[in-house]
Structure 1
Amino acid sequence: MSRRFWRWQAAMWGVTAIIGIALHGRDSVGEIVFHVLFPATGLAFTSWMAVSLRQRALIPGPSRALLSWSAKHVMISAVIGGAINLLLHRYVLSEPVLVFPKVIWEYLLSATGWALVFGVWLFAFCIRDVFRATARAIEAQQRMQESMREAEARALRAQLDPHFLFNAINGARSLIGSDPDGARDMLSRYADVLRYATTRGRGLSAILADELNAVESYLEVERHRFSNRMTVQVDVPVEHRGITLPPMLLQTLAENAVRHGVSRLRQGGAVSISSEQQGGHVLLRVENPAPLSTGHDAVASLGIGLSNSRERLALLHGDAASLHIERAPDPDAMAELWTVTVALPLEHSTRSLSDG
């Protein structure tokens, strides 16, 4: 529990004690002791409930479980609190021993009073935690949006990069005479990439199928740039294409594969995108060859793209998603194979695309 909580507890029950002493403390020493021990009882039980509730992490959570837990603990606290209250009246205030059935009614009255106090306190505590959880969720959403805007800005800069734009226009121009349909197709693919980045890539999450369509268009444009030096392989089953992921995530990985991998190799290479199911996750992989380098320099060369991707994965899926990088050196080819694996939870998938 935070220091703020304990200050709030001390202030609430401390004020209760001060008011009780101010109103009744002049009568006797017993009254003063009673009005110190009475709020101390409340402080002990409410602190116990708060710590127990926080340990079980029921806020925010299923309302049925929270209500069941609250009713049980309020009842236990009220039953014990009622007994303590009778003991305080008997041994601190030196009141005469009550006889049956009056003692039962006094006990029930005291327990009911405690139940109301603890119930109101627990309600206020839960509301406070719900507001705090909501504030954290809003903050996480804002961080996600800021992160996505940064990723979108980088993607747009890459897509509007003079080399990329020149490649798209020059490639289309070279095909106009010999292959008009091919020229139109290349310009259409460039437009697809730009359209996705400026519209569908702005949401909080994206569907893999949409992301994959934009990435395939991007890789096709880049393939013309490298001619025979670059090939593209995509093997993502239909049943995996409904999974959700942060927008522009796959685009970022594809750009890294081209910029930091294939483009730096004289012999070029293949950019491969594949997926497989493993337990409750879909493993999305992007593979590409890259120049031999030390691990530190290689990871650093990828810049903030992968760091940004990890942050957006955490904001969207929490601990249920992850991103890992693996390298497999190939000294004979003077290169190494880079594999970026993104684990995405199946429970965040949409309906199967094969359904319609």
Structure 2
Amino acid sequence: MEPLRGSLQLRARVRRSDPFGGARPSRWNLLARFAVTHDRVLATVHPGSGTVGVTVLCEPDAAHWVDLFALDEGSNYENAESLLRALSHQVAAQRREERARAEREATDNALTVARLNLLQAQVEPHFLYNTLANAQVLARTDPPRAEQMLGHLIQYLRHSLPREHDTLSTLGEELERTRAYLEILRIRMGARLQLQVEVPDALKQVPLPSMMLQTLVENAIKHGLEPKPGGGTVWILARRADDQVAITVADDGCGFGNGASAGTGIGLKNLRERLRLTYGDAASFSIVSNFPNGVAATVAVPAPEAPAAPPPLPPFAQPGGAGHA
């Protein structure tokens, strides 16, 4: 086998069947002196775009002029048929493997979407029931606040409507959903809940799994601010570093090991699993202590490719450029 520039060449020397049946020909048989004992096969593979070309040459392993005196006896026709059968068998096997691989990939994709949908359903917040119960109480005691709470709930649900065949949202959409969620909690917590958002407009189109930002905010409030007597602040920050976008949710609440509820960990476990199913190894999640107190959780996802810059305008088309006389 010899690699050539842009192709691969295979040479073989095949012993042909003995036309004399093992008996030595008579020394008076002059044609027997030109008997060919081997054939040679030359196959050249030419890779192409989506296709492969194969050139096959089968001929006696002898000088060209021998064909004038000795018959081929069909041995090279048999060699060509054998090569054709072998190639057909390999092509059929390759096609079967490709079909099986495509079916496995389709099944894996369907399972991945199903698992993502299941995980998203699991992280759907239980506060919806609490909000309706609170609104029912406020409708009797404080109708204006009840109306305000229902308005924020409608806004929240508007951003929570599922979209067919789309498991990804954007950072901007998730931020709007989270704002509506926080406004509902602010009615209940009052001045104990403060919010600071630092998300550049250029990053609001970054794809992000649905409900992921809200999961981090829910954890910050449930385990950090609600157990703290005076409440505190939640920060939502986003920044780009090379080919990654980091989204951080931080709080100045109770932090780790300060009497806060430890929770079940299902929310963060689902978050990690959704990151893995969506991005593979290209995304990461970390959670650390905030300074001087509280917790900071960061999700890093691949940054979208920057759009190509438009070509420069010719001088006559630029503002202030020369026009026709």
Contact 1:201 1:248 in 2 (8 A): no
2:268 to 306, 311, 322: 306
- 5+ residue gaps, structure 1: 1-44, 46-68, 331-335, 352-356
Q: Deviations over 1:143-183 (max 9, x none)?
A: 33333334324414x13233x3334555677664xxx5x76
Q: Does the aligned pair in 2 maintain the 1:169–1:187 contact within 8 Å? A: no
Q: Which has the higher helix share?
A: 1
Question: After the TM superposition, which of the residue ranges 199-208 and 224-233 deviates more from structure 2?
Answer: 199-208
Q: Deviations over 1:211-246 (max 9, x none)?
A: 111111001111221111110111111111111111
Deviations 1:175-212 (A, max 9, x none): 64xxx5x7644322111223333434983211221111
Q: Tell me whether 1:343 sits opposite 2:294 in the alignment.
A: no
Judged with a 3 Å threshold, the aligned counterparts in structure 2 of structure 1 residues 259 and 337 are, in CA distance, closer, same or farther, namely same
1:256 aligns with 2:219: yes
- Amino acid of the residue matched to residue 235 of structure 1? E
Alpha-carbon distance, 1:139 to partner: 2.0
Q: For the Cα contact (< 8 Å) 2:193–2:233, is it kept in 1?
A: yes
Gaps of 5+ in 2: 23-35, 39-60, 309-325
Is the CA contact (8 Å cut-off) linking 2:123 and 2:211 kept in structure 1? no
Between structures 1 and 2, the one with greater strand share: 2
2: CA distance, partners of 1:286 / 1:310: 15
Task: Please name the residue that 1:315 is paired with.
Answer: 277
User: Could you give the per-residue CA deviations for residues 273-329 of structure 1, whole angstroms, max 9, x where no partner exists?
Assistant: 11000011111111113324349x989636111111111111111111111111136
- In structure 1, the partner of 2:62 is 99
Does the aligned pair in 2 maintain the 1:172–1:187 contact within 8 Å? no
Contact 1:323 1:341 in 2 (8 A): yes
After superposition, residues 60-79 of structure 1 pair within 5 angstroms as: 72=7, 75-76=8-9, 79=10
Q: How many residues align?
A: 262
CA RMSD of superposed structures (Å)? 4.0
SS of structure 2 residue aligned to 1:160: helix
Is the contact made by 1:321 and 1:345 (CA closer than 8 Å) also made in structure 2? yes
Q: 1:269 touches 1:288 (CA, 8 Å); kept in 2? A: yes
Larger Rg: 2
Which residue of the other structure, out of 237, 248, 254, is the alignment partner of 1:274?
237
- State the alpha-carbon separation in 2 of the partners of residues 228 and 201 from structure 1: 39
The corresponding residue for 2:44 is: none
- Sort the Cα spacing of 1:119 and 1:274 in 2 relative to 1 into closer, same or farther, 3 A: farther
Cα distance in 2, alignment partners of residues 232 and 124 from structure 1: 61
2:228 aligned residue (241, 255, 265): 265
State the 1:117 CA deviation: 3.4
Q: Which residue of 1 aligns with 2:133?
A: 166
Distance 1:103 1:240 in 2: 77
3-state SS, counterpart of residue 248 of structure 2: strand
Highest RCO, 1 vs 2 (Cα 8 Å, sep ≥ 6)? 1
